[in-house]
Chain A
Amino acid sequence: MVSWLKSSRATLAIIVMAGVAPGFAGAPDEAPTLPGGAFKTVVPFEEGKDAVLIPPFRMDPTVVTNGEFLGFVKAHPDWQRSRAPRLFAGEGYLGHWKDDLELGKDVLADQPVTRVSWFAATEYCDVRGGRLPRWHEWEFAAAADEERFDARSDPAWRQRILAWYAVPSNRALPEVPAGIVNAWGLYDLQGLVWEWVEDYNALLVSSDNREQGGADKLQFCGAGAITMEQKENYAVLMRVAMLSSLEANFATRDLGFRCAYDIPQE
Chain B
Amino acid sequence: MLVGCSNDSADADGKAAAGSHFLQDTGGSARGDFGPPQGEPIQAILTDAPMVPPPVNRDYPAKVIVDLEVVEKEMEISEGVRYTFWTFGGSVPGKFMRIRQGDTVEFHLKNHPDSKMPHNIDLHAVTGPGGGATSSFTAPGHESVFSFKALNQGLYVYHCATAPVGMHVANGMYGLILVEPPEGLPPVDREFYVMQGDFYTVGKYREKGHQVFDMQKAIEENATYVVFNGAEGALVGDNALKAKVGETVRLFVGNGGPNLVSSFHVIGEIFDKVFFEGGTHYQENVQTTLVPAGGSAMTEFRLEAPGTLILVDHSIFRAFNKGALGMLKVEGDEQLAIYSGKEVDNVYLADKAVEEGAPVIAGVAAAQQAGSATREDQIAAGAVLFNGTCSVCHQNNGKGLPGVFPPLADSDFLTAKSQEKVISAVINGISGPITVNGEDYNSVMPPMSNLNDDEIANILTYVYNSWDNKGDVVSPAKVAEVRAGTKRPAGAAH
Contacts and interface: CB of A to CB of B under 8 A. Distances in A.
A75 interface: no
A54 interface: no
Interface residues of B, number: 38
Given A250-B139, A253-B114, A167 B84 contact: yes
A211 B139 CA distance: 25
Interface in A182-240: 214, 216, 218-221, 223-224, 228, 231, 234-235, 237-238, 240
Interface stretch (B6-14, B48-56, B213-221, B274-282): B213-221
A168 B84 contact: yes
Contacts of A168: 72-74, 84, 114-116
A252 B139 contact: yes
B204 to A, nearest CB: 16
A245 to B, nearest CB: 3
Given A170-B114, A245-B139, A253-B140, A220 B213 contact: no
A169 B116 contact: yes
A163 interface: yes
B115 to A, nearest CB: 6
Nearest to A221: B161
A224 B141 CA distance: 24
Contacts of A244: 118, 137
B130 to A, nearest CB: 4
A155 B113 CA distance: 30
Nearest to B162: A241
Q: Which label, helix, strand, loop or mixed, suits the secondary structure of the A interface? A: loop
Contact of A169 (B133, B140, B202, B216): B140
A46 B186 CA distance: 56
Nearest to B141: A252
A237 B114 contact: no
B165 interface: yes
Given A159-B202, A216-B130, A223 B117 contact: no
The winner among A92, A166, A242 for most chain B CB atoms within 10 A is: A166
B138 interface: yes
B122 A254 contact: no
B174 to A, nearest CB: 14
A246 B139 contact: yes
Given A168-B74, A234-B167, A253-B141, A241 B161 contact: no
B294 to A, nearest CB: 10
B161 A220 contact: yes
A165 interface: yes
A158 interface: yes
B164 A220 contact: no
A220 B215 contact: no
A52 interface: no
A162 interface: yes
A166 B167 contact: no
B116 A254 contact: yes
Interface in B132-161: 133-134, 137-142, 161
B118 A162 contact: no
Contact of B163 (A163, A165, A166, A223): A223
Given A216-B134, A219-B120, A224 B164 contact: yes
Contacts of A166: 83-84, 210, 212-213
Nearest to B163: A223
The winner among A155, A235, A252 for most chain B CB atoms within 10 A is: A252
Interface in B395-416: none
A94 B140 CA distance: 15
Contact of B118 (A231, A234, A242): A242
Contacts of B216: 155, 231
A221 B114 CA distance: 25
Interface residues of A, number: 37
A242 B163 CA distance: 9
Given A158-B215, A234-B167, A220 B116 contact: no
Contacts of A246: 118, 139
B141 A218 contact: no
A178 B213 CA distance: 23
Contacts of B163: 218-219, 223-224, 228, 237-238, 240-241
Contacts of B212: 159, 162-163, 166
A77 to B, nearest CB: 26
The winner among A214, A228, A242 for most chain B CB atoms within 10 A is: A242
Given A234-B215, A237-B164, A220 B130 contact: yes
Contacts of A231: 215-216, 219
Contacts of A214: 134
A240 B213 CA distance: 19
Interface in B204-235: 210, 212-216, 219
Contacts of B113: 92, 169, 252-253
A168 B73 CA distance: 7
Given A241-B118, A254-B140, A220 B84 contact: no
Nearest to B73: A168
Contacts of B72: 168
B142 A220 contact: no
A135 to B, nearest CB: 15
B164 to A, nearest CB: 5
Contacts of A254: 116, 140
Contacts of A252: 113, 139-141
Interface in B187-201: none
Nearest to A234: B164
A223 B164 contact: yes
B161 A162 contact: no
Given A162-B213, A166-B212, A221 B167 contact: no
Contacts of B139: 242, 245-247, 250, 252
Nearest to A223: B163
Contacts of A92: 113, 141
Interface of B: 72-74, 83-84, 113-118, 120, 122, 129-131, 133-134, 137-142, 161-165, 167, 202, 210, 212-216, 219
Given A219-B163, A234-B167, 17 more contacts: A159-B202, A165-B117, A168-B84, A168-B116, A216-B134, A219-B130, A220-B134, A220-B161, A220-B162, A223-B162, A241-B164, A245-B137, A250-B141, A250-B142, A252-B141, A254-B116, A254-B140
24 contacts: A155-B216, A158-B215, A159-B215, A162-B215, A165-B213, A168-B84, A219-B130, A220-B122, A220-B161, A220-B165, A221-B130, A223-B165, A231-B215, A231-B219, A234-B215, A235-B215, A238-B163, A240-B163, A241-B117, A241-B162, A246-B118, A252-B113, A252-B139, A253-B141
Query: Which 10 pairs from chain A and chain B are nearest by CB?
Result: A245-B118, A223-B163, A220-B133, A170-B114, A220-B130, A166-B84, A245-B139, A220-B161, A219-B137, A241-B163
Interface of A: 92, 155, 158-159, 162-163, 165-170, 214, 216, 218-221, 223-224, 228, 231, 234-235, 237-238, 240-242, 244-247, 250, 252-254
